[in-house]
């Protein structure tokens, strides 16, 4: 069976698995999400098995798993509208297929130079910062947790995403301690930001977008530095995006 066929089958299977979690009783939904993570790991391991090496079982296979559980948690928050849920389900399948293609490029790139590697990095960064992080942040802030719990939850969800993004730039077969330290730094910064947002009278979507925009700027600078393309203009571009995002965020704060 060809790889693309395996990716397509896996995307369909996981889409139906995601749909199945919506029929789990409310008291067992977290258990259902945990089960979805396990199922996604097994299915992804089957789909990507041919080119996986030791480190990639921890750095590549969990990527689609994080995507699956982030969408699953966000799926619970949607209104009881069949059209919106079908739309998210369809987008989930397409997104999962794109993630499999990206993971496959990462797996093959360790053996030879691939022209699509830069495109794979862009797709990976897109899903990490703009989708998965947004879904996690939206879920965390919707729970109306204490400020310290918001910070802890955002840090815990940000760390693996940052770690995968930073590791994928060089694709080394050993995980450098410097990469771990940088991922921890990103996670701590996003956690501290979440704590600060918790004290502001803002909307759920504004808070989530603030986390996503900040992670885009911080992680973007780190990723660009690792890839050897960090120039002054690049830094100012990320800073400019971050400033615009902050201005938009504070404009949406419901000051009293």
DSSP 61-102: THHHHHHHHHHHHHHHHS-S-HHHHHHHHHHHHHHHHHHHHH
**If you average pLDDT over residues 1-5, what whole number do you get?**
84
Among 209, 210, 206, which residue's Cα sits nearest to residue 253? 206
Say what the pLDDT of residue 184 is. 96
Q: Which residue has the tokens 């000051």?
A: 255
Say what the pLDDT of residue 155 is. 96
Tokens for 181?
């330290």
Distance of CA 39 to the CA centre of its chain: 18
Write the pLDDT tens digit of every residue in 82-133.
777 788 888 899 999 999 999 988 888 766 666 778 888 888 888 777 889 9
Which residues lie closer than 8 Å to 3 by C-beta, 6 or more apart? Answer: 47, 50, 104
Distances (CA, A) of 122 to 116, 174, 206, 220: 10, 22, 24, 10
Q: What is the mean pLDDT of the chain?
A: 88
**If you average pLDDT over residues 191-201, what whole number do you get?**
94
Evaluate if residue 188 carries a pLDDT over 90.
Answer: yes
Say what the pLDDT of residue 128 is. 74
Write the pLDDT tens digit of every residue in 36-93.
999 999 999 999 988 788 888 999 999 999 999 999 988 877 777 777 778 888 889 9
Evaluate if residue 191 carries a pLDDT over 90.
Answer: yes
The domain limits of the chain are 1-114, 117-256
173: which DSSP letter?
S
Say what the pLDDT of residue 111 is. 67
Indicate yes or no: pTM above 0.85: yes
Write the pLDDT tens digit of every residue in 204-256.
889 999 999 999 999 999 988 888 877 888 889 889 989 998 888 888 887 76
Among 221, 66, 65, 216, which residue's Cα sits nearest to residue 135? 66
Distance CA 97, CA 127 (A): 12
Distance of CA 165 to the CA centre of its chain: 9
Q: Helices marked H in the chain — which ranges?
A: 3-21, 29-48, 56-59, 62-77, 82-109, 117-125, 133-142, 147-170, 177-198, 204-226, 232-252
């Amino acid at each position: 069976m060809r790889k693309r066929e395996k990716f397509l089958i896996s995307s369909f299977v996981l889409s139906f698995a995601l749909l199945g979690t919506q029929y789990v009783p409310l008291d067992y939904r977290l258990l259902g999400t945990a089960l979805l993570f396990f199922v996604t790991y097994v299915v992804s391991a089957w789909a990507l098995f041919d080119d996986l090496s030791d480190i990639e079982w921890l750095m590549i296979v969990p990527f689609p798993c994080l995507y699956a559980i982030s969408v699953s948690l966000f799926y619970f928050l949607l209104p009881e509208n069949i059209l919106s849920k079908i739309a998210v389900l369809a987008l989930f399948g397409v997104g999962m297929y794109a993630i499999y293609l990206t993971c496959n490029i990462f797996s093959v790139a360790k053996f030879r130079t691939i022209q699509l590697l830069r495109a794979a990095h862009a797709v990976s960064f897109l899903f990490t910062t703009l989708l998965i992080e947004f879904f996690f942040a939206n879920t965390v802030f919707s729970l109306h947790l204490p400020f310290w719990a918001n910070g802890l939850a955002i840090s815990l969800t940000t760390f693996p995403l940052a770690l995968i993004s930073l590791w994928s730039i060089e694709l080394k077969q050993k995980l450098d301690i410097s990469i771990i330290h940088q991922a921890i730094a990103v996670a701590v910064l996003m956690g501290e930001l979440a704590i600060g947002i918790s004290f502001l009278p803002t909307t759920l979507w504004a808070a989530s977008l603030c986390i996503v925009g900040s992670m885009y700027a911080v992680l973007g600078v780190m990723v660009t530095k690792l890839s050897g393309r960090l120039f002054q203009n690049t830094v100012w571009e990320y800073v400019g995006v971050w400033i615009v995002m902050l201005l938009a965020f504070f404009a949406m704060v419901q000051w009293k």
